């Protein structure tokens, strides 16, 4: 507690903070602004908030505040849904994010990672694959592939170069 601050002032300001946290507009304010409204320093306000968090009171206060605003939230959700149905893409994104857990972030992640080959170039990967390949199967596939090449195509390439 700050010098010159009585225990009664401390209790009163902490109780005032608890009451003001019922207002979600107040909750959204930066700590500096909360402190100014309460008439205390930023450090003092931080201390009050941390005490409320540590005791679990903060979460309970916010839960009660959300209950208080439940009707308004439903109205906002209904308006957002109507906007989405009307073709508003941003509203549709918001609706899907809230109710479906959708995220615009796209991930392309291979969950079958092999640390032995991660970060290798195409050339290094090919070399490694050839080293690991069954030699007989590789020779057979190569022979079949060579049989598919027509001699005239090879000659045309040689002439054109």
> From CA 50, how far away is CA 155, in angstroms rounded?
81
Which class for 40: exposed (0-12), middle (13-18), buried (19 or more C-beta within 10 A)? buried
pTM higher than the cut 0.75: no
pLDDT (tens digit, 9 = 90+) per residue, 41-77? 999 899 888 988 898 888 888 888 888 888 888 898 9
Q: Provide the residue ranges of all domains of the chain, joining segments of one domain with +.
A: 7-68, 70-100, 130-160
């Amino acid at each position: 507690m700050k010098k010159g601050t009585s225990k009664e002032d401390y209790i009163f300001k902490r109780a005032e903070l608890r009451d003001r946290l019922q207002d979600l507009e107040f909750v959204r304010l930066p700590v500096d602004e909360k402190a100014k409204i309460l008439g205390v320093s930023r450090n003092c306000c931080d201390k009050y908030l941390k005490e409320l968090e540590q005791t679990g009171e903060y979460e309970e206060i916010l839960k009660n505040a959300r209950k208080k605003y439940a009707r308004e939230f439903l109205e906002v959700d209904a308006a957002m849904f109507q906007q989405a149905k009307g073709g508003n893409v941003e509203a549709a994104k918001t609706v899907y994010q809230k109710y479906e857990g959708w995220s615009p972030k796209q991930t392309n992640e291979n969950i079958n990672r092999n640390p032995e080959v991660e970060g290798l170039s195409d050339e290094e990967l090919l070399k490694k694959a050839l080293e690991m390949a069954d030699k007989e199967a590789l020779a057979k596939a190569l022979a079949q592939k060579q049989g598919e090449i027509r001699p005239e195509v090879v000659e045309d390439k040689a002439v054109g170069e």
